[in-house]
Chain A
Amino acid sequence: MAATIEDTATTTSTAARAEGPRRRSGIGPLLLTTLTWIVAVGFFFPVLWMVLTAFKTEAAAYTDPPTLVFTPTLEQFRAVFDAGIGPYLANSLFATVVSTLLVLVLATPAAFAVSLRPVEKTQDVLFFFISTKMLPVVAAIVPIYVVVNEIGALDNIWTLIVLYTAMNLPIAVWMMRSFFLEVPKELLEAASIDGASLGRTLREVVLPIISPGIFATALICVIFAWNEFFFAVNLTAANAGTVPVFLVGFISSEGLYWARLSAAATLAALPVVLAGWFAQNKLVQGLSFGAVK
């Protein structure tokens, strides 16, 4: 009896909800759509303009009014490489990849522990992790500089790797924790009854489930490490400088050459955009993990 009444109620409300959007017509949605496009183009246009400018000659970059039709050239990119972006790219790549791998290696067991094997103080530990992100980096740079200087690790790529790992680790633990929480507890119990060791359970049961989540976490770490500027500019010079450092140096030395600068900026942005592009599917899958299950 009760069930029937409930069912009817549910059906009615679903029907009402389904009719909702259809009834809404007129100028409202059109206006919102237009607004959305304006905002989207507003965000995207400067980036597009930068990329276009990178393929122009310096002369074409300075025309007033600006031209949209021009003969593309790779001249500016060549100039950027001639100016020595190569080692900086290599540094960035090395720091990003190694720090991301380190983060994953450290964050996976940590996230497993705080999500699937919580103890009394787990909440405090989690808060401690996130609290390390509350202090502005600017406020910490002086002690960090002093320490790095004392141990003679200035302008050393490994210094950046350590800092990037530390910087991304709390975020990674928090992110991966939410993915681990989605793993049904019964799976771990079933595995333990079936006789699987902890390592085996992690490898064969848990990791396949949360791999999209690990992927998403890795991408976030890559983005943050690649784009990091403040540590790099303060702690490195010619040897361990990364792409953002190069770019800033380039602005001051070649700031009058718009096209060349655009080419350098495009090169700096490209790896992250590409990584995001390739990871798109995995990323969406990872971030909407709960819905997939």
Chain B
Amino acid sequence: MPDGPLIVQSDKSILLEVDHPRADDARRAIAPFAELERAPEHIHTYRLTSLGLWNARAAGHDAEQVVDTLLEYSRYPVPHALLVDLAETMGRYGRLTLATHPTHGLVLQATDRAVLAEVLKSKRTAGLVGERVDDETVVVHPSERGHLKQVLVKLGWPAEDLAGYVDGEKHPIDLASPTTPRTPTEEPHTWEMRPYQAQAVDGFFHGGSGVVVLPCGAGKTIVGAGAMARSGTTTLILVTNTVSARQWRDELVRRTTLTEDEIGEYSGSRKEIKPVTIATYQVLTTKRKGVYSHLELLDARDWGLILYDEVHLLPAPIFRMTADLQARRRLGLTATLVREDGREDEVFSLIGPKRYDAPWKDIEAQGYIAPADCVEVRLTLPEHERMLYATAEPEDKYRLAACAPGKNRVVEQIVASHPDDQVLVIGQYLDQLQELSEHLDAPLITGATTVRERQKLFAAFREGEISRLVVSKVANFSIDLPEASVAVQVSGSFGSRQEEAQRLGRVMRPKADGRTAHFYAVVARDTVDQDFAAHRQRFLAEQGYAYRIVDAEDLGATDTAR
């Protein structure tokens, strides 16, 4: 005990010394209940949150185990108040359960009458529950199952959902190995799920519903396919956009026994409903005359499984719709549970607790994602631009800084230093991207580019026919650019952590030759651009990526040095 790898702080953070001989054991031991907050090179910081502790309870860990783990690995005595609080918090989960009553149907049961009385007294549960069956049981309207769970989490008494799931319509799905080629040039190859993917599928299925957290490029689609094969039922897949939908379709055809005829696309352009249907968030949230006109999709078939891609982007209306789907198995896939809008608790209550999580660095160390070198290039603005910037209106400052003309030269320089790599240039402002595209003589993909054109360009990029591509934020999500080993970011949307994760993901896919990926961010010095960059820098450093800052003037020197 005196020499453990953990230091437990009274503010509920846990520090893990990475180089400690028992660090790996400790990491595995605390992973079920502590959220990894940041993972820089020496000391990782985890945090104990109510949701995290409830996640652990849902996964079958009890407070005693958690306390024992902390005591076992802690270097110093663990603050007493924290242990008390921890046991108290974990004790709150499962005092209430949602169950199916033989005569009354869906009921909320309590092992503690006082708790039931407390939640029923709250105004928020009014209307969600029906009559009292007895002191410990109250009828729940089946349609309010999701809402009630949401409210209970907010009240601090999360209910364990034991009411089970409808089986859904059976539809045989199996994983296919070797793969089914999608293009004439593609060779079939044998494959199998990676160990962590299999663990994720097991974790999810054992828990019933929940979220699997895997870094970009770690093969979330395969986890989805694995879950579908295990379920063997009709499946509704909700994705962020059409490109992503097509990629899901391709990947499912390639890796499962599903044929193209069995997979439907429900998007702005096509409205097919097949045993496996892929729908975009956008079409679901489209309103006609104030009502969601595509809600019938959710009831169109007796779905046995609902898959949410990129859960952290799930729009709020979908949460509301999903609240009604509590009787079906739900799997959320995401790279991060952190939501910019802070709706983590809705993910917890409506989709389910976290069922699997693996730190990026670990997966990278296992060789499944590429190691990355992150460089922030600071560009000193010339005098007149600084003056312009200093006198600009606050709302224009970011645009001015982000679109500094000097960046073009820097990007050129960077691109020139990677002559043999597939380079992706990512930006926010179309004028700037247009300019860059001309400078670099590289094709440009924006929101205005047609899907066909996009796919053609992506394919060409993948095949290596073109080695440079300039993309706007449409590329942020769910496009698959396997061989992009260099990404250059010239402007971003205000330093969002989530965006950073996505962009980094663009270059994190494993490289055929195991090359190091490079991620450059070009930043105008002494401007808000730099402040936003500080956010990104922090995020990347917290994710454990080596992060350097170089001056634009030194760029050539560094490169030659390398």
Tell me whether A and B are bound partners. no
Interface residues of A, Cβ cutoff 8 Å to B: none
